[in-house]
Structure 1
Amino acid sequence: MAEHPAYPVGLRLTGRRVVVLGGGTVAQRRLPALIAAGADVTLVSPQATPSVEAMAEAGEITWERRPYAEGDLADAWYALIATSDPDANTAASAEAERHRVWCVRSDDADRATAWTPATGHSEGVTIAVLTTDAKGRDPRHTAAVRDAVVEGLRDGTLVAPHHRTRTPGVALVGGGPGDPDLITVRGRRLLAEADVVIADRLGPRDLLAELPPHVEVIDAAKIPYGRYMAQEAINNALIEHARQGKSVVRLKGGDPFVFGRGMEEVQALAEAGIACTVVPGISSSISVPGAAGIPVTHRGVAHEFTVVSGHVAPDDERSLVDWPSLARLTGTLVILMGVDKIGKIAETLVAHGRSPETPVALVQEGTTAAQRRVDATLATVAETVRAEDVRPPAVIVIGEVVSVGPRPAA
């Protein structure tokens, strides 16, 4: 028998009796999958790990606190033998053979009638990997193969498009602060399955080069009708392509709902009756300072942080920001889209009580290869921006947290 490979099969154990002998770490690892499969699990063991005991207390399994006894496998469909007693394991394995119960043994795979594959999950698919060579079983290799396949499916490097269950629609994907490795796993997978990608200038541009040739990429920054009509044009493009039955990804920088006008797009799609999935992204308001060595909160320094749009100046009638109140806060202030307005912002904060010596850091092109950090104070930041030629996109951090970490290299 050992000369032939195992025959792979998926067991449907819902409501069926499964017996686990031994309550140690092997059972702790295997029980969650059996519970998730809906099996009626009976654990036979004098002792159990705290995690296994918690499963019994929660009613997920039935625990008989005793050693194995002949007859324990009666009416079982599947058995996992994992006790520390070799004699009990041998006796239970023999009972499983007599009753034709598929049996896994943790201590001696060659004497088992079943092997547990290395398994992983991705979007409703279970990946199970078994060694085909019975004599050369290598659990580490099978686990490595499993991990590679699951990771590839999750991050989009292994493309397996849906066919029967795939439905057209739009996915609003937050691409993160710029580094292609900082997009979420789900976002990258949806990007790999897209027919059309409508991308922002601030999205992770490097990912677009990985898309298959058939994918249509639309630069949202170059959609016609001018700046005032740009958002309406983007909305129309999303609707038009989705109505053609295509899978559309709207790739945005950062998080779609942090100054990203994502809800406007969701609302437009809803009015058009088009399904939309929102995939949150890592916001640059937190990640870019972190990449530059700045924590937005720190014990004993800042107990809050506030994220503000600086695209209009404090004295602009369109501003919705209560700058005087922000000046009275003692925590961290993170300003997005405020490079060209930072002089006026700094003046306003100082005028309403913030110290002119408050540290300021500007992080340009955060998380990318072009990232650079420029430090100043509220009193000097306007001149520093001009002297250092700081350009958007840049995240501005104001507060004592700027001085918490190691000083940046000159």
Structure 2
Amino acid sequence: MTAKQDAPRLSDLMPWSVAPLRLGRSWVMGPDPAALRARWNALVAAEDAAVRERLFRPSRARTLHSAVGQLPGQATPTGRLARADGPCPEPVRVLHGPFDRQWLLPDQRLIDAARPELWRVADGRQLFAVECGQLPQVPGPAVVCSALLPDGRSPAGRPGRIRPLYRRPGGCEPNLAPGLSGLLARRLDRPVEPVHVLAWIVAAAHHSPDGCTVPLTADPAVWDSGVALGERLLWLQTHGGYSPGGGAGERPRMPGGRRPYVRAALPARGLPDTIGYDPEDEALLLGGGRISPVPPGAWEFHAGGVRVLEEWFAQRTGGGAETEPPEPGSLAALRPTSWPQEWTSELLELITVLALLAELAPRGEELRQRTADGPAIGRVELRAAGIVPAPAAARRPASVLDHHEEGPEGQFVLL
């Protein structure tokens, strides 16, 4: 067996995983929270049952008469949507795909499969590892992390699984194979915290025909380098939501002379219909708008099989890789008709994150080479130690009994 064949899979190291969210209707998520509120208001303003049903777009999983409970942590009504007339559920920030921070109406009545087990453990201590889909010959990370609840979708390619770092709220019970941290601590002769393992995963993981593979080094110096790189990646991917040492840190920023700025304003009316890149001036072109400097690494950054900046732009102007243009008169057609200032701020931050991630790519390649050339901890050793395969209980969500959740029609449920 070769070292590559013996390398553990991500599923070996983080046993509990959850499938991507399945919305069932595109209008419940979007990049503009005001548009989501307008869609909700249009739905509840429809007094005719047939009109409301057409706007809602029922599915096998959800209709206007579905009886479902609240999502954990969300104070939304639980009455049937057929008679709903209250205010819009407050939109929450989520991660759409690998790098697109959008908004979602967190109402389980609207979502076919909202994955309440994820919402139950989402808090200020949680980090989510998301496997990225891959297309042949297209570069991109194998795993990205988010402090926001991710939908797990992949713009192109097969969606991956979502793996919370902790199985319970408050940073309790790490989602790691039982015994893994102890074995690593003994072999590497240093303390190994759950976030160190996640940092190593983000830095060292790569795509393989068998899924996401995470080689483990037995060299303490290589481990330290990988964890340091991974913590930097975590900080960038979470937009400062994670920082080494705990808590939220400063948001990523480029050095003074390299920060991207708007050099030519976007149109005051309407949405830009094209996006392009001027490599000579390192400028991002959005219709008549112009942002620079934008390093080539930011423009060329791919994830989930697509160029990130192009997909981000398409999600706001004409539908991305996974979506079709909305039908006239549908709720999804209620969207901004001009470019909000908030999108410019978000775009500048995304450019910064992608540029800094691209600068770290050579360090990632060096780490993978050093790991391949040095001593390793493979599946054979993990199996001999009783760590692989993980017990069935570690692959299921933990029971969370310390809070109430409202069930259908206002009833309380016990978990």
TM-score normalised over the length of structure 1 = 0.22
Between the two structures, name the one with larger relative contact order (CA 8 Å, sep ≥ 6): 2
TM-score normalised over the length of structure 2 = 0.22
